[in-house]
Amino acid sequence: MASSPQWIEIHIPLFTIIKVLVALLCAFAVHVLWPLLLLVFLALFLAVTLHAFVGWLESKRIKHWISLLAVVGSLVTVLCVGLALLVPALINQATAFSRNFPQLREATLNQIPAGWGVHNSLEHLLDTANWSAADPWLSHCVSAGGVAINGLADIALVLVIALYLLIDGGKTYEWLLAFFSPLHRRKLRITGQEISKVIFGYVAGQVVTSVLVMIFTYIVLSVLQVPGALILSILAGILDILPILGFIISTVPAFLLALSVSPKTAALVLSLYLVFHMIENYLIVPKVYGKSLRLSTLTVLLGLLAGVLLAGIPGSLAALPLIASYAAIERIWLKPFLRDGVSEKHELQKDEVFGGKE
C-alpha cells in the first residue's frame, strides 16, 4: 500500500523577511550611490587630516571656531593662489605644445629606428589620437596615466564634503556612538584615534612627496628644455599617489618628450628620474611618513592593485591607509579571537622591520 506524500512546512518569521528585504535595499542603494560614497570616503580622509591641524591649534588654547576658520581659510587660500598661478601657465604651455606637436612628433620618431616595434606602435598611437588642441592633449596625458579624475566638480564636491565633515563630523560621530554599548564605544573611540593617526600620516606624507616630485621634475625638465615641463611635473606629482606604478607611468611621457630633444637628454631624464625615485623610496618616504604606515613593498603593491581593481583611483588612494589600519583593528577587536601571542608577535615583527611606533 503506497504511503501518502509528506509535506514539509518552512516557517520564516516576518522579522527575518524584513531584515532580508532591508539588506537587499541597502545593497541596491550602495550600488546606485557608489560614486558618491567614494567621494565621501576621500572627503573623510581630507577631513581627518584637517582636523589634526584644528586639534593642534586648539592645543595652543585657540578657540575651536577660530581654529576651524584658520584651517579652512588657509586651505582655500592655498588652492586659490595655486590655481591662479598654475592655470594660466598650464594653458599657455598646453597651447604651445599643441601648436608644436607635429615637429615634436617627427623629432621623437626620428630617434627610434623605423624597424623597431616601438617605433610602429608609437607612430600608430600618435597618428590615431586627436592631438590638434590643448584640451585633448591634456585628457590623453591624464588618461594614459590611468588617473583621469571625473572633473573639477568632483574635486569641489570632495572639498565641500570635507569641510562639512570637519565642522559637524564630531557631532555626527558622537551621535553614532550612542547606538553602541559603553564597552564598544570605548573600543570605537580608540580605533578612531588609531586610524586617524594613520590617515593623517598618509595624507600629509603624500602631499609632501608629491610636492617634492613636482619641484624636482619641473627643475630637471626645464633645465634640459624638455617641452611641456610644467604639465609633466604636475602629472608626476599626481601619479606619485600610486606607489611604484605611478613612477613608471609618469616616466614614459617625460622620456618620449625628452627624446624629441635628443637621445642624450632622454637618457639623462631617465637617469635622474630613477635616482630621485630611489631617493624618494629609501630616504624621503621613511622620513615624511614616519612610522604611520609600516607596510612592506609587496604589501603596498598588492594593496594598490587590489584598490584599483575594486574601486579605481579612489580605491588606490584608500588602500594603503586601510591596510595599515589593520594592526589597530587586530589589536583592539580581533585579539580575543586569535591564539595567545599572535597579536603581540605581529607587533614585534613590525617593530623589528620598521622600528617602534612614534
Under a CB-based contact definition with an 8 Å cutoff, are residues 276 and 216 in contact? yes
Tallying the residues shown for the chain, one arrives at 358
Rounded Cα distance between 345 and 353, Å, is: 12
Rounded Cα distance between 103 and 260, Å, is: 9
Query: Can you give the pLDDT of all 358 residues of the chain as single tens digits?
Result: 556 667 777 778 888 889 899 999 999 998 898 888 888 888 998 999 999 999 999 999 899 899 999 999 998 898 889 888 888 888 888 788 778 777 877 777 777 776 666 667 666 666 665 444 444 444 444 444 344 344 567 778 888 999 999 988 888 889 999 999 998 999 999 999 999 988 888 888 888 899 999 999 999 999 999 988 998 999 899 888 877 778 888 998 899 889 888 889 999 999 999 999 999 888 887 777 756 677 777 787 788 788 878 877 777 778 888 888 888 898 889 888 888 788 888 888 877 777 666 5
Helices (H), 64-181: 64-99, 101-110, 117-128, 134-144, 152-177
**Is 28 domain-assigned?**
no
What is the identity of the amino acid at 167? I
**Is 346 domain-assigned?**
no
C-alpha cell at 262: 635628443
Report the sign of the C-alpha dihedral through residues 62, 66, 67, 71, in that order.
Answer: negative
**Is 2 domain-assigned?**
no
**Is 240 domain-assigned?**
yes
Count of domains in the chain?
1
Note if the pTM is more than 0.85: no
**Is 194 domain-assigned?**
yes
Report the sign of the C-alpha dihedral through residues 105, 111, 112, 115, in that order.
Answer: positive
Cα distances (angstroms) measured from residue 256 to each of 98, 171, 253, 269? 15, 52, 5, 10
Rounded Cα distance between 249 and 240, Å, is: 10
34-39 long-range contacts, CB within 8 A, separation 24+: 35/150, 38/311, 38/312, 38/314, 38/315, 39/154, 39/157, 39/158, 39/161, 39/314
**Is 40 domain-assigned?**
no
**Is 203 domain-assigned?**
yes
**Is 33 domain-assigned?**
no
Q: Which domain holds residue 170?
A: 64-324
Rounded Cα distance between 231 and 253, Å, is: 10
